[in-house]
Amino acid sequence: MKTLFSLFCLVTYLTCALSANGWPISIDMACNKALSAVACSFEFTNNANEDLYLLKRNTPLEGLDSEFVSVSLDGRPLDYEGFYMYHLPPAKDEFVLLKAGESISATVQITDVFSIDTDGLYTVQYSRPLQYLSVNEMSAMSIDDLKELAVRESIHIHLENTHLLLKPKKEEIKPDYTVHLQDCGTVSFANGDRKNSETLEAHKRLCPRFDKLLKRNNLNSDFQKWFGAISCSRAGIVQDTYKSIRSGLSKYSLTYFNREWCKSYVVAFTVLSYSYSTVYLCEPFFNLELYCVSTTGISKEDVLVHEWSHALGRRRDRVYGRKNCEALAKSNPDKAVENADTYAYYYCDTK
C-alpha cells in the first residue's frame, strides 16, 4: 500500500497511524508525490473483537466521490473541486465487511479534486466520520442504528515543483437547447429528454420562492429548527448563501445534464471542477415528486435547491434527511449553516 509512486517520489513521505484507544476502527494514512500527482493511501483496520460492516460512502473506499479530506497550505484551506452527491439512504451493497483484526485499504490522487500549484507545507486532514454497523444490525438493515466514529487525523507533506502537478479535470458540455426565463436567467438541458419539462417546472419555482424568502424576517422558530440558536454571524451566513444562490440563478447560464449512468443510490450531483453552473441528474431524480413535500420524502424542487446550494452557495454535505438536519442544528449550529440539505429543508418550509 505504501509503495505507490515510490520510484518517482520527489519529496518527504509521511505516515500517521491512529492508535486504537478502544476505538473499533482505526485509520493509517500516507501521502506521497510523484512527478504529476499527489497520492494518498488509507488503511482501515477493525480493532474490535467482533466483525463490523463499514459504510464505504464518504470514504476513499468509493473513490473520490466525496469530500472526506481537506487540504490546506500553511493553514489556508484549498477549495475542494470534486463531487457533491445527493444520496438515497444507504443500501447493503454500500457496506464492506471488516472481520475482527482485518484491514482494507484504498489509494486516491487528491490532485484530482484539489488544485495544488504553490510550493510549501501542506496538511491533509481526514475530515469525515466513519459509519458502521454490527453484523446483527446489518442483518436487520437497521440504518437508524448506524454508528459514527469521529476522525480528525492529519499528515504534513512538503511539496516542491507543484507546477508539474495535474489539475482537476474540466468537462465541456454542449446543451441540447436553452430556455430563457423572465427575471431568472437561462437554463439549458443536455444529454436528451428525461422529463425535462418537469425539471423546468421545478426550476421555475426557485427564483420567486428565493425572492420571497429573502424578503422575510427569517430569524424565527423555523430558523432555529434548521440552523440552531440564533446568532448574528450564522444569520449572516444563511442570508449570504441564499443571496448567492438567487444571484447565480439569474447571472449564469445554468445547465441540467441528464446522466446516463450513476451509482444506484445517487439522486443528483455537482462537480465543482467541471462547472459551478451544471447539475447532473440521475435515475432516482426523475421519479421524485415535483414540488417540495413536508414529509420525510424528497422532491425535484428541494433536490435542485440542495445542488445549487453546492454550486452557487458553496455549501457542503454534513448530513442528509430532515431528522439528521434537525439534530445537527441542535448539536452543532456552525455545521448546520454549512450543510446543503439544511438549506433545502428551510427553503421548503418557508411559506
Cβ neighbors of 183 (< 8 A, separation 6 or more) are 207, 250
Query: Which tens digits make up the pLDDT trace of 240-265?
Result: 999 999 999 999 999 999 998 898 89
Query: What is the C-alpha separation between 313 and 242, in angstroms, rounded?
Result: 7
203 and 328 share a domain?
yes
145 and 216 share a domain?
no
160 and 41 share a domain?
yes
192 and 325 share a domain?
yes
The packing angle between helices 340-349 and 206-215, to 10°, is 80
225 and 123 share a domain?
no
Return the pLDDT at 20. 41
158 and 193 share a domain?
no
Of 132, 164, 196, the position where a domain reaches its end is 164
Return the pLDDT at 45. 97
Whether 174 maps to a domain, the answer reads no
Continuous segment of H or E residues that includes residue 212:
helix 206-215
Least confidently predicted of 95-104, 144-153, 262-271: 144-153
Of 105, 130, 164, the position where a domain reaches its end is 164
Domain count, the chain: 2
Return the pLDDT at 120. 96
Query: Which tens digits make up the pLDDT trace of 298-321?
Result: 899 999 999 999 999 999 998 888
Whether 8 maps to a domain, the answer reads no
Domain coverage including residue 100: 25-164
Least confidently predicted of 40-54, 61-75, 213-227: 213-227
Mean pLDDT, rounded, of the chain: 89
The residues facing 154 across adjacent strands are 125
Whether 12 maps to a domain, the answer reads no
Strand arrangement, sheet containing 186-190: 83-87, 266-271, 278-281, 253-258, 186-190, 177-180
Whether 175 maps to a domain, the answer reads no
CA dihedral 317, 29, 39, 102 (to 10 degrees): -90
219 and 144 share a domain?
no
Return the pLDDT at 235. 93
217 and 141 share a domain?
no
Q: For residue 285, give the CATH number of its domain.
A: 3.40.390.10
159 and 204 share a domain?
no
Query: Which tens digits make up the pLDDT trace of 155-179?
Result: 999 999 999 999 998 888 899 999 9
Of 101, 131, 164, the position where a domain reaches its end is 164
Query: Which tens digits make up the pLDDT trace of 5-55?
Result: 232 233 333 333 333 446 899 999 999 998 899 999 999 999 999 999 999
Whether 340 maps to a domain, the answer reads yes
Whether 177 maps to a domain, the answer reads no
Cβ neighbors of 33 (< 8 A, separation 6 or more) are 5, 9, 10, 11, 39, 157, 159, 165
Whether 64 maps to a domain, the answer reads yes
pTM of the model: 0.87
121 and 223 share a domain?
no
**pLDDT classification of 186: cutoffs 50, 70, 90:** very high
**pLDDT classification of 139: cutoffs 50, 70, 90:** confident
CA dihedral 310, 315, 321, 325 (to 10 degrees): -170
344 and 198 share a domain?
yes
Is residue 202 pLDDT above 60, yes or no?
Answer: yes
95 and 223 share a domain?
no
Q: For residue 51, give the CATH number of its domain.
A: 2.60.40.2970
Is residue 1 pLDDT above 70, yes or no?
Answer: no
